[in-house]
Amino acid sequence: MNSRTSAAVHSAETTAFILRIIFILIGIFLLFMLWRLHRTLQTTLGSSVDEVHTHIMHIGSGDFSHPIILKYGNEESVLGWLSETQQKLKELNATNERLKNLYAALSQCNQAIVRSTNESELFPLICRDAIDFGGMKMAWIGMLDPSSDTLTIVNSYGEGTDCLEGFTISTDPSDPNTQGPTGRAFLENRPFWCQDFQNDSLTQTWHKLGEQYGWGSSAALPLTREGKVIGIFSLYAQEKDAFDEAAQKLLEEMAMDISFALDQFSKEKARTTAEKQIQYLANYDELTGLPNRLKLDNRIQYFLSLAKRNDMSFTVMFLDLDHFKTINDTLGHSCGDSLLIEASKRLKTILREEDTIARFGGDEFIILLPNIDVDGATQVAQKLLNTFQHPFYIHEHELCISGSIGIALYPNDGHDFEALYKNADTAMYRAKKEGRNGYCFFTHEMQRHSIRNLELSNALRYALERNQLQLHYQPQFSTQKGIVIGAEALLRWNHPELGSISPSEFIPIAEENGMILSIGEWVLHTAIQTAKEWIDQGYTPILMAVNLSAVQFRAPNLPSLIADILDKVGLPPEYLELELTESIAMDDPQKAINTMNELHAKGIRMSIDDFGTGHSSLSYLKKFKIYKLKIDQSFVRDITIDPEDKAIVSAIISMAKRLGLQTIAEGVETIAQLNYLREQQCDEIQGYHFSKPLPKKAFEEF
């Protein structure tokens, strides 16, 4: 190799070496930069990307069981922000969970109030629900012992109740032991909230127990009866600051509901008896003692379940007494009621123990016969009709009646009670059409509704335009002044061919075919116009009472409609009273409250009709914007001879007065009934003792 070539090789080797050095340096630099970027990213994130991603996924799914552990110096990192966010969301989730639990406890409390009849039934449920539904650690209720001026624990539930045994709290203001949360809540009649149980000086004597049982915060709420504190409701939660503003409002509402229940429990014995009677009436017909519609519904559901499970058949019979209305109209309701009682007794003698007979309303009876075929149903129907072959002796009258029976069979004629009942009803009307005093099986050739209903439904569509509808007015009297202070407008329908048709017969048809709204508007306008005319003619202004149907009351434009009619006619709203039955009001209590509030805001009065025959909740009753309760005539009829009716009427009047409501009794037919109602300080009365419902001109003459 010559020198020139050697120099070239040496130069190339030198260049390659330099390039390797440069490449190595660049590599080291790049590695250093990557290391710096990694450290910077880790510093920003506060941890690895995988760990941050994992925590984000946990938080996003609502899983707070994996706490984020921060290292010193990375509080300002993404991980630090995630840790703070996780804690806030965890606290918010805990707050929401507490409120959810308290709402559930409040709901259970209200249900317990409705179910309970006395303190011993209610208090265990309240304490248990506060734990099981409200998420509390412990709850107890203490009641005042007047003989010792101390609060005694009457019921408790949860962890730590063993420490309450024999525990009492003085209510003497001078006693130092009274200065705790419970004593101060009692003496000052206001709730006390300890948000940090272990560090609150008011709970110092309980700190060891609080630590042992895990009490983080506590509440003491006064319970009142007739405005006076008589007890304390105490709650203990595991968390600190468990009772925020929303929780406090819920618990205060619960305490108020319990206090309302205590007010009701303290009523006189007659009131308690009356409430039991009302509960009885929820399932049984007062007149005959037979199951009513509610009880019947329970039985039919049982039979349906049994039949479906065991592939059995059963029969539904609809029995209606023939010409019963004639007896009622000619001999009076007392005679008609006695006839219903005796007829019920005879019908029951035909049935087996497993059969059910219920009074469905008026002179209608529903009979359920499980596990029976067509032949068996035929034999029973004939036996039922045979019970009417012998006359009834009622009030010195010999009465001969018959019945018409419609029969529907499960499963051929329907798979639920509504279908079976309607088909049996249709068959019953066919039996009446064929001459009465007979029975008829439903067939699928029959129309869905009876011929009678079709006739009435068609005729009703022309009743308004042909002036077949009219209002009669029954006077309402003041028991103290003895003067007419109001009139109830009652709808009548006189058809040229069908004759006088009872509202109880055509109003349901009007509700079904949609005519009730136009008829109801006509009734309102006519009654309001009549009241205005009487004022213009110089009569002393009186209150005009108008009944509302369920469909009317549910109409969203009802308040504005009535206000428009009053405005057009020129009648001040204080002369109009709208009557609503208990069952309609309780169908949707909250909607009823809203509608009543709207009417009340327009100055229109509301009253509850037929009070005592429905299923109203006393807790809702105080929320309804009403000013009057109408005592149903079924309670008035025998108040002079029946101690239970006396107790019911007396209790209703007493309760109404305590709630600031007036009372009116309907169906007053004798001077003895009138005198008793006066003694009980019933405000108003109406009934045949004074006058039957009268046409407009006759009412003016009256």
pLDDT single digits (tens) 1-34: 556 556 655 666 677 667 667 766 766 666 666 6
Q: What is the mean pLDDT of residues 419-429?
A: 91
CB-based burial, 234-258: b 16+ in 10 Å, e otherwise:
bbbbbbeebbeeebeebbeebbebb
| Across 591-604, average pLDDT | 89
Please tell me the least confidently modeled range out of 106-115, 203-212, 263-272, 580-589.
263-272
CB atoms within 10 A of CB 520: 24
Band of residue 621 on the pLDDT scale cut at 50, 70, 90: confident
Distance CA 563, CA 525 (A): 11
Question: What contacts 24+ positions apart, CB below 8 Å, involve 121-127?
Answer: 122/258, 122/261, 122/265, 123/154, 123/155, 124/155, 124/157, 126/155, 126/233, 126/254, 126/258, 127/155, 127/156, 127/157, 127/158
Beta bridge partners of 399: 392
The two three-digit tokens of residue 60, written as one number: 């996003």
CB atoms within 10 A of CB 634: 20
Please confirm whether the linkage preceding 496 is cis (ω < 30° from 0). no
| CA dist list (Å): 557 to 135, 370, 521, 602 | 43, 46, 11, 13
Structure tokens at 507: 């109003």
Mean pLDDT, residues 34-63: 55
Domain 102-266 fold is Beta-Lactamase (3.30.450)
pLDDT, mean of residues 367-380: 92
| CA angle centred on 348, ends 342 and 354, rounded to 5° | 160
pLDDT at 511: 86
Question: Nearest-CA neighbor of 644 among 278, 114, 263?
Answer: 278
pLDDT at 311: 85
Residues in CB range of 113: below 8 A, 6 or more apart: 122, 257, 258, 260, 261, 619
What pLDDT is recorded for position 618? 63
Q: What is the pLDDT of residue 626?
A: 87
Produce one character per residue of 64-103: b if its CB has 16 or more CB atoms within 10 Å, e if not: beeebebeeebeebbbbebbeebeeeeeeeebeebeebbe
Q: Are 577 and 546 in contact (CB under 8 A)?
A: yes
- Residue 565 burial (CB count, 10 A): 18
Q: Which of 133, 153, 130 is nearest to 143 (CA)?
A: 153
User: In 3D, which of 436, 450, 553, 531 has the Cα closest to residue 487?
Assistant: 531
Residue-level pLDDT at 359: 94
677, pLDDT greater than 60: yes
Q: How far apart are CA 423 and CA 606, in angstroms?
A: 38
CA distance linking residue 288 with residue 340, whole number of Å: 7
Separation between Cα atoms, residue 158 and residue 214, nearest integer Å: 12
Nearest to 585 by CA among 547, 620, 558, 546: 620
Q: Is the dihedral of CA 99, 101, 105, 111 positive or negative?
A: positive
Q: At how many degrees (to 10) do helices 516-536 and 503-513 cross?
A: 120
Task: Return the pLDDT at 614.
Answer: 58
- Does CATH place domain 459-701 in 3.40.50.800? no
- Spatial distance between the Cα atoms of 564 and 147, rounded to a whole number of angstroms: 60
- Residue 372 in contact with residue 313, Cβ under 8 Å? yes
Average pLDDT over residues 581-608: 85
Residue 156, CB half-sphere, CA atoms under 13 Å: how many?
A: 21
The pLDDT assigned to 176 comes to 74
Q: What is the pLDDT of residue 246?
A: 85
d(CA 194, CA 216): 9
Contact 470, 695 (CB under 8 A): yes
Pinpoint the alpha helices (H) of 136-244.
181-188, 207-213
Among 401, 277, 291, smallest CA distance to 340 is for: 401
Q: What is the mean pLDDT of the chain?
A: 85
User: Residue 85: pLDDT above 80?
Assistant: no
Residue in this structure with the two tokens 């938080």, named with its chain if needed? 59
**Phi then psi dihedrals of residue 462, to 5 deg:** -110, 0
Of the candidates 199, 194, 267, 266, which has an alpha carbon nearest to the alpha carbon of residue 234?
Answer: 194
Q: 698: closest CA among 523, 530, 459, 560?
A: 530
CA 429/CA 421 separation, integer angstroms? 12
To the question of pTM greater than 0.85 for the whole model, the response is: no
Given a cut of 80, whether residue 61 has pLDDT beyond it is: no
Say how far apart CA 392 and CA 387 lie, in whole Å: 10
Closest CA to 102 of 263, 219, 224, 227: 219
| 586 pLDDT more than 60 | yes
- Second-level CATH architecture of 279-448: 2-Layer Sandwich (3.30)
Whether the per-residue pLDDT at 35 is higher than 70: the answer is no
Question: Would you say the C-alpha torsion 452, 458, 463, 466 has a positive or negative sign?
Answer: negative
Three-class secondary structure of residue 319 per DSSP: strand
Q: What is the mean pLDDT of residues 482-491?
A: 93
Question: In the predicted model, is pLDDT for residue 578 greater than 60?
Answer: yes
- Give per-residue pLDDT as tens, 236-271: 999 898 898 888 998 999 999 999 999 888 876 567
Q: Closest by alpha carbon to 203, among 221, 222, 219, 187?
A: 219
How does residue 174 score in pLDDT terms, banded at 50, 70 and 90? confident
Tell me, what's the pLDDT at 347?
Answer: 95
Neighbour tally for 456: CB within 10 Å: 23
Average pLDDT value for residue range 172-179? 80
Q: What is the mean pLDDT of residues 394-407?
A: 93
Band (pLDDT 50/70/90 cuts) for residue 513 is confident
- Phi/psi at 285 (nearest 5 deg)? -70, 130
Q: How much is the average pLDDT of 192-219?
A: 91
Distances (CA, A) of 311 to 46, 297, 308: 70, 20, 5
Question: What is the distance between the alpha carbons of residues 220 and 181, in angstroms, rounded to a whole number?
Answer: 6
Report whether 652 contacts 629 (CB < 8 A).
Answer: yes
- Would you state the structure tokens that stand for residue 259, as one six-digit string? 């206090």
Whole-number pLDDT of residue 526:
96
The predicted pLDDT at position 115 comes to 87
Average pLDDT over residues 30-51: 56
Distances (CA, A) of 302 to 145, 324, 417: 47, 32, 11
User: In Å, what is the CA distance from 547 to each residue of 134, 612, 683, 698?
Assistant: 43, 17, 20, 21
**Section 326-346 average pLDDT:** 92
d(CA 112, CA 125): 6
For residue 141, what pLDDT is reported? Answer: 95
Residue 154: per-residue pLDDT: 93
Cα–Cα distance between 437 and 432 in angstroms, integer?
A: 7
339 pLDDT more than 60: yes
pLDDT value of residue 577:
94
Helix boundaries (H) for 74-158: 78-115, 119-132
Give CA–CA dist 551/518, Å, rounded: 11
Please report the pLDDT score of residue 615 as a whole number. Answer: 54
Segment among 34-48, 169-183, 273-287 with least mean pLDDT: 34-48
End-to-end, the C-alpha distance of the chain in Å comes to 152
pLDDT of 671 reads 94
Q: Is 153 or 75 the better-scoring residue by pLDDT?
A: 153
d(CA 261, CA 297): 29
The per-residue pLDDT for range 516-552, each reduced to its tens digit, is: 999 999 999 999 999 999 999 999 999 999 999 888 8
Q: Which of 389, 404, 409 is nearest to 440 (CA)?
A: 404
